[in-house]
Amino acid sequence: MTVAPPPISVIGVNHRTCPDSLRERLYVDDSEVAAVIGTLRIRGVREALVLSTCDRVEVTAVFQDGPMAPLTVATALGAPVGLRGDELVPYLYRHDGGDAVRHLFRVASALDSQVVGEPQVLGQLKAAQRLSQDLGAWGPSLDHVLQAAYAVAKRVRTETRIGEGAVSLAAAAVARVQDLHGDLSERCGLLIGGDELALMVARQLRAAGLHDLTVLDRFRRRAAVTAAELEAHHGPLDDLAGALDRADVVIAGLGAGRYLITAETMEAVLRRRRRRPVFLLDMAVPADIEPAVHRLDEAYVYDTGDLERVTREGRAGREAEAARAEALVEEAVAAFDQNLAVRDAGPDIARLRNHLEAQIRDGIGDGPDADAIARRVAGRLLHAPSETMRRRAAAGRLDDETRGLIAELFGLDAARGTAGGAEGDGK
């Protein structure tokens, strides 16, 4: 018998399924999670986790009404930004049961991120769990799968070098900035948008001593959240011209679909800066910086391809590590499924043990040690049968026919009819 998958689903949008302009509107700040979970609760959802990052906005939950789950999530996410649920539903992806487990394992292991191996997503997932717990929306189904996700993420981090690729790209960017500007303690930076690799570079620049940083975004709310994390200033994208004049380092990670920084704009900026050099890093897809900016003196432009060429391992090495990480995830998914199957045998074993203890107590009569003797004898007699049932469950062979045979051999069906009271009250 195929064991039923865990009763969870993951529903949301990410960088592959939803236009950036829409996904950015759906971003859920920590202060807004309570409203989203409140809407889910109204529709019968008792366990729910809301994960909102630059890459994704998704809800992991136990849904009582499976067919209505996408509309439920769309309504919860869309309401704060004035979107009707039916407008958002076409952009949603959905993973159920085993597919949901695999998805969560890949997310926790940074295999589903725009920058594979980026280390921030695991912390974001744990922070989302804490919020869910604080709001009373945590439960055993979510806890079981999230603990398993954290375990596989740790294996991926310690048994592969997948994280080194993302970190090495960010480190290469910081090294190039220091080659140009030297000591960063008197330099100013500008972060446009919130692409994961752009954020990593910004974090490492701050750690390397970058004096001042400003975050600009199309959405003030997201700019404020990013700035709070980086201990930076923030503002709207309309402030770009003035911010460029002050910036010695520009990290572009918006992917606006048009060039935010053109050669004409940058030439004017350099004149106002009296030709003081600027390092520009374009992390966006599509690009935020016009290619013609490369030709300007004192404008030093790098993109991810340039950074890959100055790192030792390059794309091929990261892809090999990613393949190893994917294999670890598949191994963990199989182990999780097996563990669920073994747990599925638990009620059958408990029922059989209760029945046998009751039979032994009836046989030995009342006495001061009757309960202890019954438990000890039943434990010894059922040790081998219990292990066999667990093995069959793990192999998917603890089916209804096998359960029926066990019930017939031990008289469990008869016990329900004639001795149900003994089993029911656990004497």
pLDDT tens string 257-306: 889 999 999 999 999 999 999 999 998 878 899 999 999 999 999 988 88
The strand pairing partners of 50, in sequence order, are 59
Amino acid at 17: T
**How far is Cα 241 from Cα 261, in angstroms, rounded to an integer?**
9
Beta strands 299-303 and 278-282 are parallel
Catalytic residue among 37, 50, 54, 162, which?
54
Range 230-261 burial, b when 16+ CB lie within 10 A, else e: bebbbbebeebeebbeebbbbbbbbbbeebbb
Sheet with 48-52: strands ordered across: 48-52, 56-61, 9-14, 93-96
Cross-strand partners of 60: 10, 49
pLDDT at site 57 = 94
Q: Coil, strand, or helix at residue 8?
A: coil
What digits encode the pLDDT tens for the residues 368-392? 787 888 778 777 877 777 777 666 6
What is the pLDDT at residue 152? 95
Q: Among this protein's residues, is 54 annotated catalytic?
A: yes
**Cβ contacts of residue 381 below 8 Å, gap of 6+?**
356
What is the longest distance spanned by two Cα atoms in the chain?
100
Q: Which long-range contacts (CB under 8 A, 24 or more apart) does 72-79 make?
A: 72/39, 72/40, 72/43, 72/45, 73/11, 73/12, 73/40, 75/39, 75/43, 76/36, 76/37, 76/39, 76/40, 77/12, 77/26, 77/28, 77/36, 78/26, 79/35, 79/39
Cis peptide leading into residue 286 (ω within 30°): yes
- In this prediction, residue 340 carries a pLDDT of 67
Residues of the chain with pLDDT under 50: 1-6, 415-427
